[in-house]
Amino acid sequence: MSFHRIGKYLIATGVSCAMLVGCATQPGGTMDDRQQTVAEGAVIGAVLGGLLGSAVSDRHKGRGALVGAAAGGLLGAGIGSSIADRKAHYSREEDFLVAEIQRNQDFIAEADDQNRQLYQDIARLDRESQRLARDYRAGKATRDALASQRANLEQQLAKAKQINSLAEKQLADASEVHQESRQKRGARDSYTRQLESNVVQLKETRQQSAQNVSSLQRVYDSMAI
């Protein structure tokens, strides 16, 4: 499966804010299954976004938390909507969960493969960049050669960031499905446990992709002309 196919799993999670209008309750004040899923996703996203916003805003923790909660709520609602849309294709909840587990496993396999390849490329690019920088300082390499290497690093960095972004989305999506299964079916349910395993693996995938971004950024910055 090519890397570009990963994005197809996650297109639905990128819904626009306008879709949130569809989350309104029914006339009787109740919510159907889809609306409930969207609402739960928004709540979880807001909590996570608030924590993240507070963590990264050292000087303005309160404002950072509010901004993070707003952004996280929109993302969470988007994730919920995606899950609800996929649910609609299955008449049995078990079939939906089987498909979600497979979806996660396919993503993990492809993303991990991409991360491993990037990890190897980073080691090579780091060696090449250090050698080129030494040659440039010694007058053995041109400024154009450095610029070309930086352009190559920039492309790899963009790829690493894309993988990391997709991993974050997939993790958030899988976490929501796992949480819903845990609430409805219990922690000991076989589907819930498989989803929990998916979440653990996705966290590791996301961690590696984030590390690749950090490493490539360091190499890229070291090539400043």
DSSP code for 191 = H
CB 192 within 8 A of CB 179: no
Token couple for 200: 């653990």
Query: 109 and 44, same structural domain?
Result: no
Most confident of 67-71, 74-78, 128-132, 220-224: 128-132
pTM listed for this prediction:
0.66
User: Which pLDDT value is given to residue 31?
Assistant: 56
Residue 209 sits in the same domain as residue 99 = yes
Place of tokens 């996570």: 48
Asked if 75 and 180 sit in the same domain, the reply is no
pLDDT at 64 over 90: no
Same domain assignment for residues 157 and 73? no
> Distance between CA atoms of 22 and 12, rounded to whole angstroms?
15
Higher pLDDT, 106 or 67: 106
Place 197 in a pLDDT band, splitting at 50, 70 and 90.
very high
Range name among 160-164, 188-192, 195-199 with the lowest pLDDT average: 160-164
Q: How many domains does the chain have?
A: 2
Q: Is the pLDDT of residue 66 over 50?
A: no
The answer on 193 and 116 residing in a single domain is: yes
Distances (CA, A) of 117 to 50, 122, 123, 153: 34, 9, 10, 14
Reply yes or no on whether the pLDDT at 41 is more than 80.
Answer: no
Backbone dihedral region of 30: left (phi > 0), alpha (psi from -120 to 50 degrees) or beta? beta
Residues 65 and 128 in one domain: no
Structural domain span for residue 67: 1-89
Report which residue type is found at 171: L
68 vs 43, higher pLDDT: 43
The DSSP code for 12 is: G
